Structure formats: C-alpha cells, structure tokens
Amino acid sequence: MRYLVTGGAGFIGSNLCEHLLHNGHEVVCMDNFATGRMENIQSFITCKNFTLIVADIRNLCDCKRAMDGVDVVFQQAALGSVTRSIEDPVTTNAVNIEGFLNVLMAARDTKVKRVVYAASSSAYGDSTALPKIEEQIGKPISPYAVTKLVDELYAHVFRLNYGLDTIGLRYFNVFGRRQYPNGPYTAVIPKFTMQLMAHVPPVIHGDGTNSRDFTYIDNVIQMNELAASTTNPEAIGQVFNTAAGERTDLNMLVNVIKRYLSSYDPDISRVEVRYGTNRQGDIQHSLASIEKAHHLLNYEPSHTLESGLKETVEWYWKTMHNGSRHLMGNHNE
C-alpha cells in the first residue's frame, strides 16, 4: 500500500510513518514543520519507501501533489493545544478547518480510497457524562474543540455527497516516545517527566483531581491501522474514541512517573509537586468508552497507562542521557 501521512514529522505522525515503513508499505510524509521536527523522521528519512514533501495542508495544490498514487491518507496535520487556540483562534481555524477541507477535497479529486483523520476528545465539550460515548457530545468550550468538531461534520458531508470513505479517531490525551517536552504548549506527561528528571517540582493546574484517559502511542497506531484496513461497512463514516478506557487523575499520574523514574535516580522520589490555578478551557474529567471501537474495529488496547508510561519514561531517560537532539531546544509542539 502507498500511504500519505500529513503531519508526518510530528509526534503521532512520525510514529505512524515508522510503523508503516516497518510493515513494508510506501509512505509519503507531508509536513510544513510548524510543529513537526526533522529529528522525528531522521532514523528513516533515507528509507527507499519513504518520501518527504515539505508542504502545508493550507495549500490545495500541495495536498493534491502529495496524494498522487496514494491509497489511504492518515490526516494528522493540525495545530493542537487548547491554550494555543485561545491565544490565536485564527491560525488554529485556518490550519484545522481550512487545511482539513483541502485534504478532503484533494482526496476526493485524486480518488484516494479512504481518509483516516485525527479527531479529538475535545469534541465532548461541556458534557459531564462519563464515560464519553461517541454519539453523546456537549458544546465545545475552546476554539480548538470547535475546529475538531467541524472536521467531523465536513468528513460526514464528504461521505454523504461524494462517497469518500472517512473514519475519524477521537484521540484522548496521547503520550509516548517522540512527544516533544519543551515549549509553551507541551503536554503534561513529557513536561512532568523532564521536570522530574531535572529535580524541578512539576506544577499541576488545579488540585490534581482532574482526570484524563491517557492513551499510549501504540494504541493510537493500532487504531489508525484498524481504521485504514477495515472492511466492515458499519465502520465507514464513523467516529471512534481512541483511548485506553481508563481514567487517571493528575496526582496519580505524577506518582507513577516518579516511581518509574526513581528506578534510574532515587532522588526523584523526593521531588515535591506544586499546584497552580486551573487552565482556561480545560475540562474536569475525561474517560472514553471504547465499546464501539471494540465492536466495529476489533480494537483491544495493547497498553495500559502504566505499561505505556514505563516504556515512555525509559525512552525519555535514555534519549536525554544519550544527548539526543529530540529533547533539545525550543519548539511549539
């Protein structure tokens, strides 16, 4: 198969590219490096089945060029972060909605078989129901959430009007190797891990009881692969929670990270945690139902939070102590 991964130099995209290459497929990576990193694809950039196209999904012609001869598109390109979207809703809208529309248009015009796209658990908005069930959402509470919900609507419309196969994956707090730990919009797991390794007290926004369904990268890769290959007609045009199906509060999260890191450096167990104010646009709790994905895609998460964290902490420790550029410098991812 020949796949296009938009945002293929990002955290999730690069892991997906690597997995597809490992399984013998041809991979086209399209990235403008606004948040993607060359270091993420360095280990396989010379692979004969890998093609890098430096381009932006906001350019329709670039999207069409990248899709030449492609069977399936994995649409991972987006500007993440609720905080960033509140600070700059215009750019978030341009990338996440206008860019996504270009991807759909190009896929339709180049006769791509299927688009598997990154949706978001932020679509559940102000709904307090737990667990989160795909057909029951609230109103979005951030510009980022609005953009990801609009993407789902556009995918539905293209399926309805043009017969384009689409499947959306609502990601729940993905973590794992290659997730960039520096910068203003860094996710909590890489941020806490790096702070603890430096013996810097991590800061939890709120009292630490906020909870999330933290989802290891290998579970996300599995869901993308299942969505791309499924022949179940009931799955086409659907949106699926992509998660572990377990809820962890931030206090517990920090303690687990400290426990794993302490096996490398016992002093880390004595680093204290600090608490700050809640962040604007954050939801209190999140937990996914994965029943629909199990039923229609045969999804079974390969990793729990703890098994994923153990591998993640090991990767950060080894990468940091090998002096890798993966963790150096400033970046917006």
In a domain, 280, yes or no: yes
Q: In angstroms, rounded to a whole number, what is the distance separating the alpha carbons of residues 179 and 68?
A: 29
Q: How confident is the model over 269-293, as a mean pLDDT?
A: 89
Q: How confident is the model over 51-61, as a mean pLDDT?
A: 98
Whether residues 278 and 308 fall in one domain:
yes
In a domain, 180, yes or no: no
DSSP state of 210: -
Residue 260 burial (C-beta neighbours within 10 Å; 0-12, 13-18, 19+)? buried
* Sign of the C-alpha dihedral computed for residues 291, 301, 27 and 63 taken in this order: positive
Per-residue model confidence as pLDDT tens digits over 89-144: 999 999 999 999 999 999 999 999 999 999 999 999 999 999 999 999 999 999 99
Which structure tokens are listed for 303? Answer: 């990793």
In a domain, 332, yes or no: no
| Percent of the chain residues past pLDDT 70, beyond the cut | 96
pLDDT, position 106? 98
* Sign of the C-alpha dihedral computed for residues 153, 169, 21 and 33 taken in this order: positive
pLDDT, position 159? 98
In a domain, 168, yes or no: yes
Number of domains in the chain: 2
Which residues constitute the domain of residue 199? 188-210+247-287+303-327
Whether residues 40 and 169 fall in one domain:
yes
Whether residues 135 and 162 fall in one domain:
yes
Could you tell me the CATH number of the domain that includes residue 262?
Answer: 3.90.25.10
How many CA atoms, within 13 angstroms, populate the side-chain half-sphere of residue 139? 0
Residue that is written with structure tokens 């990338």 in the block: 95
In contact, 173 and 212? CB cutoff 8 Å = yes
In a domain, 198, yes or no: yes
Whole-angstrom CA distances from 227 to 35, 165, 304 are: 25, 10, 21
In contact, 237 and 156? CB cutoff 8 Å = yes
Question: Is 154 one of the catalytic residues?
Answer: no
Model confidence at 324, pLDDT cuts 50, 70, 90, reads low
Model confidence at 327, pLDDT cuts 50, 70, 90, reads low
Whether residues 275 and 152 fall in one domain:
no
Whether residues 125 and 268 fall in one domain:
no
Whether residues 41 and 144 fall in one domain:
yes
Q: Is 241 left (phi over 0), alpha (psi -120 to 50) or beta?
A: beta
In a domain, 252, yes or no: yes
Which structure tokens are listed for 80? Answer: 């993440």
Whether residues 166 and 273 fall in one domain:
no
- Chain-centre distance for alpha carbon 12: 5
Angle at the Cα of 225 from the Cα atoms of 220 and 228, rounded to 5 degrees: 125
Query: Among candidates 121, 92, 90, 118, which has minimal Cα distance to 103?
Result: 118
Whether residues 37 and 101 fall in one domain:
yes
| Percent of the chain residues past pLDDT 90, beyond the cut | 88
Exactly one of 3, 117, 124, 144 is catalytic; name it: 144
In a domain, 79, yes or no: yes
In a domain, 183, yes or no: no
Q: In angstroms, rounded to a whole number, what is the distance separating the alpha carbons of residues 319 and 194?
A: 11
The answer on pLDDT for 227 being more than 60 is yes
Model confidence at 323, pLDDT cuts 50, 70, 90, reads low
Whether residues 144 and 196 fall in one domain:
no
Q: In angstroms, rounded to a whole number, what is the distance separating the alpha carbons of residues 171 and 173?
A: 6
Model confidence at 79, pLDDT cuts 50, 70, 90, reads very high
Q: In angstroms, rounded to a whole number, what is the distance separating the alpha carbons of residues 214 and 310?
A: 13
Could you tell me the CATH number of the domain that includes residue 12?
Answer: 3.40.50.720
Whether residues 12 and 160 fall in one domain:
yes
Per-residue model confidence as pLDDT tens digits over 149-208: 999 999 999 999 999 999 999 999 999 999 998 877 788 999 999 999 999 999 998 899
Average pLDDT over the chain, rounded to whole?
94
Model confidence at 282, pLDDT cuts 50, 70, 90, reads confident
Whether residues 222 and 272 fall in one domain:
no
Residue 74 burial (C-beta neighbours within 10 Å; 0-12, 13-18, 19+)? buried
Whether residues 274 and 195 fall in one domain:
yes
pLDDT, position 332? 42
